Amino acid sequence: MEYDGATSTAGLNTEEWTMAYDLVIKNGVVIDGSGMPRYRADVGVRHGRITTIGRIRERAREVIDADGQVVAPGIVDGHTHMDAQVFWDPLGTSSCWHGITTVVMGNCGFTLAPCAKADKHMVVRNLQRAEDIPPAAMEAGIDWRWTTFPEFLDCLESLPKGINYSGYIGHSALRTYVMGERAFEQPAGEDDLRAMERELRDALRAGAMGFTTSRSPSHETPDGRPVASRVATWQEVRRLVGVMGEMNAGLFEIAGEGVDRAANDPGLRDYHVRLRDLAVDTGRPITFGVFSRRDVPDTWRRYLALLDETAAAGGRMFAQVHSRSLSALLSFKTQLPFDRLPVWKELRALPLREQAQRLRDPDLRRRLIEAADVRPDHKALGTEAQPANYDWTLVFDTVEGPHRSVAEIARERGCHPAEAMIDLALAKDLDLFFLQPVANEDQDYALELMRHPRTVTTFSDSGAHVSQLMDSSLQTHLLSHWVRTKRAFTLEQAIHMVTFVPATHWGFTDRGLIREGLAADLMVFDPETIAAEMPEVVDDLPGGARRLVQKTRGIAATVVNGEVLLRDGKHTGALPGQLLRGPLARRS
């Protein structure tokens, strides 16, 4: 495009007018998200959109040389709990470091709206233990400026954002908003149901992605009661999902009933029939996480069968799966399985340096090791560390592994496994992680789950379980482990799985592909080196609380809505992220 600067047009400065592109990514190999084979091309971006794919010769305000690199769509993560974090961390760490440019939050019934500021303690109660987000961080970090869900979305829209956010309305918040304290104790009356339906309609019209709930025994309040959504009858759930059916909009996400914890639970089939029928009756897509568990080996296959059965019956349903085991990350710097045992509790209250000294005292060591054999009550995933199971407590000294079990090392050394843990940690100045898989332990099963055509590889849970889990890197793990090391997928397949597939399921019709006219959410990476780094413990939550973060190597640039958000993992200062409203808000 040639232009004579002397006849400048109103509203455009000369420089902007002469630039055909805001950004050109040159010489890269395009893997476009569709699953089709790669090709070499430049990608030109203007006004936040991909405008040209080909050989670009015109000038651009910014050029990224992607020679030897892959240019792919930004990753879409369909399962996060960034609802609180977005208020204090606009970048959306750790997700943004892994090429993720769009997240869906508000899963499992946990949202911050609708809720009046005066009642926020009730909503925080739903979130804090179930999702392990410190209440002090929420108190210090959130400026509560809404009551209804539409007001909450407007507030989100006004916040600075690095990546794109979208959110469901959560059942626990909705129920608490309408019923107050009764939400934690009683079934809803007809008036309650009508009020919930009304709020849900308003939320969907304003741009909620859908409705979420939890019926999971894992989800408790700090005082050990079920979160509010778990008190609901199935009829209440049907009424609310029915609202989405009437409006022909929105997804239903559910953290499932505890019918899959024991082999051959007769409740499992009943639950599956209810889910199938709800999908068929309402026509709305239903989605939930599915993980294999070593203690109930075949249950996950029954969930996969349910997906196909529902499709055959005329309903829509897809499962959210993970690229590796679901693990708690333990360390002296964060949590250990022994922390609630009296002798340990005393030790663990001390500063880390003092703990290291005392761990060398033979008498205390003996008492700690003896105490380690006492099993505390089994607690829910993601809330407190699980009781020690040394065959499934792995030394996490490299990301890629292999990871040896503490039991194996103890046998080799002829010592108690707890002693092995102490000595291994002391040898690293207590800076050593242990990995405790709690689901999806068998990687052949994890692969089979990812390969099912009605599953989506997502479920990072980012924003939640901040002190224990490190799942924001599950998509990076797919690219480094399953593509590069195991060759279980081609890069084209893997990119498709984490871009176009989730973008389609969640209805982001202008994302998830590299195609002219679509939003310019892009990642530029080296397929030979992309990998998650070791997690780190940082104290950066509002109020100074601790969390785990995990970075990536091998990603040269992350582009959101046409602006470069990260270069080699460093924030450029741009905050190009948007609130993505759901289908009804877009239709109007």
Q: How far is the CB of 342 from Zn ion (least distance, A)?
A: 33
Phi, psi of 220 (to 5 degrees): -125, 160
Q: Rounded to the nearest 5 degrees, what angle is found at the Cα of 410, between the Cα atoms of 406 and 416? A: 105
Nearer to Zn ion, 126 or 393 (CB): 126
How far apart (Å, rounded) are the C-alpha atoms in residues 210 and 318? 15
Q: What is the dihedral of CA 179, 181, 183, 186, to 10 degrees?
A: -100
In this structure, what token pair is assigned to residue 335? 């949590």
Nearer to Zn ion, 107 or 458 (CB): 107
Distance of alpha carbon 209 from its chain centroid, rounded? 16
Nearer to Zn ion, 229 or 393 (CB): 229
Q: Which residues contact 547 (CB under 8 A, 6 or more apart)?
A: 466, 467, 537, 538, 540, 541
How far apart (Å, rounded) are the C-alpha atoms in residues 171 and 456? 23
Question: In the block, which residue shows the tokens 């006219």?
Answer: 517
Residue type, 269: R
Nearer to Zn ion, 46 or 175 (CB): 175
Nearer to Zn ion, 82 or 388 (CB): 82
**Residue 538 vs residues 163, 373, 482, 571: alpha-carbon distances, Å:** 21, 30, 29, 18
**Residue 250 vs residues 115, 245, 281, 476: alpha-carbon distances, Å:** 21, 8, 14, 28
Q: How far is the CB of 26 from Zn ion (least distance, A)?
A: 40
**518 neighbors 49 (Cβ within 8 angstroms):** yes
In this structure, what token pair is assigned to residue 193? 């149901």
Tell which residue, 238, 312, 285, has the closest CA to residue 501: 285
Nearer to Zn ion, 28 or 382 (CB): 382
Nearer to Zn ion, 469 or 501 (CB): 469
Q: How far is the CB of 174 from Zn ion (least distance, A)?
A: 17
Nearer to Zn ion, 165 or 338 (CB): 165
Strand partners, 226: 220
Nearer to Zn ion, 386 or 480 (CB): 386
Q: How far is the CB of 88 from Zn ion (least distance, A)?
A: 20
| Binding residues vs Zn ion (CB under 5 A) | 107-108
Q: How far is the CB of 44 from Zn ion (least distance, A)?
A: 38
Nearer to Zn ion, 75 or 108 (CB): 108
Q: How far is the CB of 110 from Zn ion (least distance, A)?
A: 7
Nearer to Zn ion, 79 or 333 (CB): 79
Tell which residue, 115, 94, 113, 253, has the closest CA to residue 169: 113
Q: How far is the CB of 108 from Zn ion (least distance, A)?
A: 4
Q: Which residues contact 41 (CB under 8 A, 6 or more apart)?
A: 28, 30, 53, 54, 55
Q: How far is the CB of 449 from Zn ion (least distance, A)?
A: 17
Q: How far is the CB of 79 from Zn ion (least distance, A)?
A: 6
Q: How far is the CB of 72 from Zn ion (least distance, A)?
A: 26
In this structure, what token pair is assigned to residue 546? 């601790």
Phi, psi of 556 (to 5 degrees): -80, -35
Q: Which residues contact 97 (CB under 8 A, 6 or more apart)?
A: 472, 550, 551, 552, 555, 566, 569
Q: How far is the CB of 109 from Zn ion (least distance, A)?
A: 9
Distance of alpha carbon 115 from its chain centroid, rounded? 23
Q: How far is the CB of 81 from Zn ion (least distance, A)?
A: 6
Q: Which residues contact 8 (CB under 8 A, 6 or more apart)?
A: 14, 17
Nearer to Zn ion, 107 or 166 (CB): 107
Q: How far is the CB of 107 from Zn ion (least distance, A)?
A: 4
HSE-up of residue 566 (Cα within 13 Å, Cβ side): 30
3-state secondary structure at position 13: coil
Q: Is the bond preceding residue 402 a cis peptide, omega within 30 degrees?
A: yes
Across 423-486, where does the E strand assignment appear? Answer: 433-439, 455-457
Residue type, 309: E
**315 neighbors 280 (Cβ within 8 angstroms):** yes
**25 neighbors 43 (Cβ within 8 angstroms):** yes
Q: How far is the CB of 461 from Zn ion (least distance, A)?
A: 5
**522 neighbors 102 (Cβ within 8 angstroms):** no
Nearer to Zn ion, 72 or 169 (CB): 169
Nearer to Zn ion, 219 or 316 (CB): 219
